[in-house]
Structure 1
Amino acid sequence: MPLQLSELVLSTFSNGLKVLVHLIDVAEEHAYYLGLSADDLYPDARLIEDMKPFSFQIQEATTAVNIALARLGVTELQAWADEESTMAELRARIAKAQKLLEEVDKEDIDKGADEAAYLHFGPMTLTTTGKGSILGYSIPNFFFHIQTAYAILRSKGVPLGKKDYAESFVLPYLVV
């Protein structure tokens, strides 16, 4: 059976959100080990001054899920204020995106695969299909922000490795 868009969307986004939760878990454990506050260390942390902080990366990854589902026509675009400033608030933001994924109908995602979808880039609007928007923009954008969140924490000394990034993606597909 060919891969359905719904399987790609739901598994990629759900597993990626699990990665973000895991990154927060490890960061909080590390801060605790150091006797410091994770809220003081990580939400505003950046790789370099002109880049957006860790909190922004979580916000953008979850917004990517929100927008992707709306672009496919399976949910209304949720208005989420980007005001999270603590690890608990960031965790709640991830849970909100996960809830969106849990509530969608797989068949509706698949119906939207060949429908027109619009990508807005400043004053430009590009037309593609639902599948094109997912493969060409939503998933790459989602991965960019997950990887940047990982890199920010790693640069701040959080003991993360490739396993921490990849495990949530591979575990659901292991054959026992």
Structure 2
Amino acid sequence: MATQLSSVVINYFSKGLSTLQHILQKAEEHAASQGKDATAEFIDAKLIDDMKPLTFQVQNSTSTVRKTLYRLQGQEDQPWEDNEKTFADLYARVEKARKLIQDADQGKIDELADSEVDLPLGPTTLKTTARESALNQGIPNFSFHLITAYAILRSKGVPVGKRDFIGSFLGF
């Protein structure tokens, strides 16, 4: 039996969001251990000046979950405001994305997997299948922003390692 698209996407996004929450918690714990505020220390942190900050990485990873799930279910995207300013706001954003995963109609995702969808990419819109949009854009884009969030925190001294990143994917 072939693996269903809904299983791949929902499983990956769920585990990735667990990783995101975990590394944010590690950042808060690290800041607290030094008598500092995680929001002040990390919310605007970047890897390099011309990159976007941690907040943007969380917003875009969760927005990718939202956009991908709506696209896969044949629904119109319902944009969220990008107004997070604290770690509490970031956690709430992750939970909002988790709720979308929980409420996703797996049967609908699998039913529409091979249907044609519009995939907006900047000024261009590609025509592709729902499956290809999820596997070739949704999951890679989500991964990029998740990994970048991890790298930002790691570069700022948060003691996270490979186990912290991959643990959710492996179930520990």
Secondary structure of 1:125's counterpart equals strand
- Matches of 1:12 and 1:74, distance apart in 2: 20
| Cα contact 1:118–1:128 (8 A) shared by 2 | yes
Structure 2 partner of 1:63: 63
- Matches of 1:94 and 1:121, distance apart in 2: 23
TM-score (norm 1): 0.95
Report sequence identity in percent.
Answer: 49
Structure 1 partner of 2:84: 84
Specify every segment of 5 or more residues in structure 2 that has no aligned partner in the other structure, as ranges.
none
Structure 2 partner of 1:4: 4
Worse overlay, 52-61 or 1-10: 1-10
Worse overlay, 69-78 or 17-26: 69-78
Structure 2 partner of 1:49: 49
1:114 positional shift: 0.3
Worse overlay, 92-101 or 64-73: 64-73
1:75 positional shift: 4.5
Secondary structure of 1:114's counterpart equals coil
| Cα contact 2:64–2:142 (8 A) shared by 1 | yes
Counting only pairs closer than 5 Å after superposition, residues 11-22 of structure 1 correspond to structure 2 as 11-22=11-22
Size of the alignment, in residue pairs? 172
Structure 1 partner of 2:109: 109
Specify every segment of 5 or more residues in structure 1 that has no aligned partner in the other structure, as ranges.
none
CA RMSD of aligned residues (A): 1.1
Structure 1 partner of 2:127: 127
TM-score (norm 2): 0.97
**Residue type of the alignment partner of 1:33:** S
Q: Which runs of 4+ in 1 moved over 4 A?
A: none
Secondary structure of 1:23's counterpart equals helix
